Amino acid sequence: MGCQKPALVRDGWVEGLIVAPTAGSGDDVLAGKELQAYLKKISGGEVPIFSSAAKAKAMVRIAVAGKPSAEGWTGAAPPPDGFAIETRGHTLWIVGGDERGALYGVYDLLENDLGVRWFMPGALGEDVVEATTVLLPDVRREGHPSFDAVSGFIWAGGPGAPVWEKRIRAKVGSTTAFFGHNWSNIIPPTAANKAANPEWFALSGGVRTNQLCSAHPDVVRITAQKAREFFDRNPAAVVFSISPNDGYGFCEDARCRAVDALYGVNDGTLSDRLVHYANEVLADLGRTHPTKQVGILAYVTHTNPPRAAKPHANYATLITRMPWEFCHAHALGDAACDINRRFMDYVTGWGRLTRNLGVYDYYGHFYIFAPWPLVHSIRSDMRVLREAGVTRFMSETQQNWANQGLNFYIGAKLAWNPAADVDALLADYFTRCYGRAADPMRRYWTLWEDAMVATTARGHGGYQWLPMFTLDLTAQADRLLGEAEGAAAGDRDVVVRRVAFARAGFRFTEAFVRMRTHGDRAEWNAAVAAGEEALARIRETTGTEPQAFFNALAIPQTQAMVDQYRAGRRADP
């Protein structure tokens, strides 16, 4: 007989072991536990974990480059969040560039060599191929993220979401590379502050608003001091946000107008003014923290690159792809879409000015909780952004898994590797996730995608896609779901439950479409009644894992539409 290949588990009997750090709570310790747990789910055998090497027929060694756990490893150190996987004889090495890289190496092994999938958070999204024998894979490869930092795919958390974020490798770099609106934290717009120092706050239309007067020397000084205090408390942090509050009401006083004039700006855009402010803050901050960055969102009135102001080397920006302005119905690289071509002009313009360049997108909607089918554009957007020099990517992904989860899965996969084969990902997703119901479920999701593309003409962004929601479309979707439910009957229980989860999302969508249809016809009572049904169908899903709807927004935002119909007005948008 020939030599048997080394196995971690053979015919249900454990033959191998795992060598991994066991002290503490770091990701390298978690890596060993996760590998052990999934080997048991696959084979039923509990492969033991040791903190140091021992004799075994097969061994997986989990290590972090440069640490004692990597003693004996002779390969190059992977980058942060990256890993190397290599089989040497009876030993499979998984070496991370850092602790999280070691964990990501384990997840890569589980996914690519042992067939585990995490389509959604929790047990509903997990798919494991059972086998009584688990051979030691013969493999040699490296993996690393394409962006320096990725975040937002579990926006506002949700049941099981933080664990899923790591398993899908959608958490990259420092979370402090990202930021949001922050002026209200730098100088809170309290009545006392406004009374004591009214000139610190923006003068707009003769009224002091909650925005700041960014040209006031006290505001610059206080901003720099707050940044200094933040970095003293958080020495590993990358960026301190000095970004304005959400909304409008920006300053029109003489100081701010003088800054605008300095750069030849008279069209109401604020990018030059805010770059000027950031440069003054960085000049002060640089006396004590010369390597730290400050960040301002490229957003609304200041999305475009500055006309003449030159950002300091430590200026960071996140260019915000606002759904109410830009187009998500078409890909960013679609040259025929004027709106997205303008967005990409902003990306390339900012890229010429700062190396700390990020994009802030939205893959889960904060206002519409029906299907928002974006895979047709997501499939190329990550690659286009990376080729344009974007190094940080954040998606404000509200956790609406029942209707928008496919966006999250494909988006997270492409955030790690923009060159991934999306057709192969989708084929695997539908086959593994829906079993016998794969074909009707694929047609169900494709129906929404095709409707969005067909509804929105190129060059028309914002909410121009909303007319896709017709009674005829929902009737077609209902029939496809019924076909999927019939096909899933008799399949694994988890397949039946996944189709039922999609049905829970559709129940809301169907009521939402009736509400919008009646509202467009000024049939106010019928619109209100359908809206109340939509709200009830959100509430029915409370506590699901994954989270069917982000109830904290889905309920009040849908309620706002119902209230508009109750008042005899068409709902915005």
Query: What is the mean pLDDT of the segment spanning 389-411?
Result: 97
d(C-alpha 423, C-alpha 217), whole Å: 55
Nearest to 388 by CA among 365, 427, 420, 357: 357
Q: Which residues pair with 328 in a beta bridge?
A: none
- DSSP letter at 11 equals T
Backbone angles phi, psi at 320, to 5 degrees: -95, 120
Report the chain's C-alpha Rg in angstroms: 26
Q: Would you call the peptide bond into 546 cis, given omega within 30 degrees of 0 as the criterion?
A: yes
d(C-alpha 365, C-alpha 453), whole Å: 17
Residue 394 Ramachandran class (φ > 0 left, ψ -120 to 50 alpha, else beta): beta
- Per the listing, tokens 């904060």 go with 366
In this model, does residue 204 exceed pLDDT 50? yes
Decide: helix, strand or coil at residue 80.
coil
Which pLDDT score is estimated for 457? Answer: 77
Q: How far is CA 22 from CA 26, 91, 520, in A?
A: 9, 19, 61
Domain-wise residue ranges, the chain: 7-144, 179-294, 433-566
Homologous superfamily of domain range 7-144: Chitobiase/beta-hexosaminidase domain 2-like (3.30.379.10)
Express each pLDDT in 330-349 by its tens digit.
Answer: 999 998 999 999 999 999 99
Which pLDDT score is estimated for 98? Answer: 98
Which pLDDT score is estimated for 485? Answer: 98
Express each pLDDT in 239-292 by its tens digit.
Answer: 999 999 999 999 999 999 999 999 999 999 999 999 999 999 999 999 999 999
Which pLDDT score is estimated for 55? Answer: 86
Which pLDDT score is estimated for 203? Answer: 98
d(C-alpha 384, C-alpha 428), whole Å: 24
197-223: buried (b, 16+ CB within 10 Å) or exposed (e) per residue? eeebbbbeeeebbbbbbbbbeebbebb
Nearest to 471 by CA among 521, 421, 525, 543: 521
Indicate the pTM of the whole model: 0.96
Express each pLDDT in 7-45 by its tens digit.
Answer: 999 999 999 999 999 999 999 999 999 999 999 999 999
Query: What is the mean pLDDT of the segment spanning 59-79?
Result: 96
Paired sense of beta strands 293-298 and 315-320, if any? parallel
Express each pLDDT in 306-330 by its tens digit.
Answer: 999 999 999 999 999 999 999 999 9
Nearest to 154 by CA among 165, 169, 167: 165
Express each pLDDT in 505-563 by its tens digit.
Answer: 999 999 999 999 999 999 999 999 999 999 999 999 999 999 999 999 999 999 999 99
SS3 for 285-315 is HCCCCCCCEEEEEECHHHCCCCCCCCCCCCE
Nearest to 430 by CA among 449, 444, 450: 444
Using an 8 Å Cβ cutoff, are 147 and 140 in contact? no
Q: Which residues pair with 13 in a beta bridge?
A: 10
Nearest to 515 by CA among 538, 540, 541: 538
Which pLDDT score is estimated for 460? Answer: 79
Using an 8 Å Cβ cutoff, are 119 and 127 in contact? yes
Which pLDDT score is estimated for 3? Answer: 74
Which pLDDT score is estimated for 176? Answer: 95
Residue 568 Ramachandran class (φ > 0 left, ψ -120 to 50 alpha, else beta): left
Q: How confident is the model at residue 1 (pLDDT cuts 50, 70, 90)?
A: very low
Q: Which secondary-structure segment (H or E) carries 104?
A: helix 99-112
